[in-house]
Amino acid sequence: MNDKPIKVLIVDDEPFARKYIRQMLKDDAEVEIVGEAGNGKRAVRAIEECKPSLIFLDIQMPEMDGFTMLNNIDEANLPFIIFTTAYEEYAIRAFEFHALDYLLKPFDQTRFAVALEHAKKTLRGDKAEWQQSLRIRELLEAIGAKTRFLERLLIKQNGRIVFLKMSEVDWIKADDKYIHLHSGNSRHLIRQTLHSLKSQLDPLRFVQINRSVMVNVDSIKELHTMFNGDHEVQMIDGTKFSLSRSHRNALFELLGKPIG
């Protein structure tokens, strides 16, 4: 049994989130907080300098997200990971990265304690070193095998978890801090901005057509030219959306339609 404290690094671009985790760890004698980082680039340096055993890692960060950050760490320095994020759809990818755990913000002390205890047992176990080596190899293989764009979403619905393939989503509409995803006869609501989701989607499949709507080009039925020269997009489910002039060229280029 190793009695040395577990070295922990907290990585999150939100100062309040870092403070929240620090507060929950402050009275734990088995843990030593060796540093904090507010973005992926600083986290890479902190890992090299502090060599933590465990990271609480936010996924969405400016400049370099959590997944990209992991791919910039030498295998020998790669610690165990507990992902933290406000977006539940990242859960699938986080577990594909063989994370120890996944904390969905806002998480409470009870849920945090479960994740921390899991990490302690893994790190304190007799086979911890072997397990870590195995997880590192699996993690790096998973990173190398990842596709660039989001393929699935994990959505909580009526007390169950729904796996939604992005290829089956017909259109997406923003509503303040939420977005509605329409897939055939199914409707889903998730807390995320259209801008953040757009950055994860394949631009050859999904295109933004106005300020609040993105569509799957394979689900477009018709384009209508209006009397004033504007256009309307009709989806296969019958829904119609206006095509803003600022997004018209992107759609036409993707569909191969001449501009003019």
The residue out of 145, 160, 187 marking a domain boundary is 145
Helices (H), the chain: 15-25, 40-50, 66-70, 91-96, 109-124, 128-145, 194-198, 245-255
What is the residue type of 240? Answer: K
Which of 6-15, 57-66, 180-189, 191-200 comes out lowest in average pLDDT? 57-66
Number of separate domains in the chain: 2
The residue out of 83, 112, 145 marking a domain boundary is 145
Rounded mean pLDDT, 53-79: 80
Residue 123 lies in a domain: yes
140/166 same-domain check: no
The parent domain of residue 113 ranges over: 6-145
pLDDT digits (tens, 9 = 90+) for 126-157: 455 445 545 544 554 554 455 567 788 878 77
Residue 260 lies in a domain: no
114/174 same-domain check: no
Helices (H), 57-127: 66-70, 91-96, 109-124
Q: Would the pTM count as exceeding 0.85? A: no
CA distances from 89 to 26, 43, 100, 254 (A): 30, 23, 17, 27
CB 27 within 8 A of CB 2: no
CB 243 within 8 A of CB 223: yes
Instruction: Count CA within 13 A, CB hemisphere, residue 173.
Output: 10
Instruction: Count CA within 13 A, CB hemisphere, residue 171.
Output: 21
* Cα–Cα–Cα angle for 78, 84, 85, rounded to 5 degrees: 130
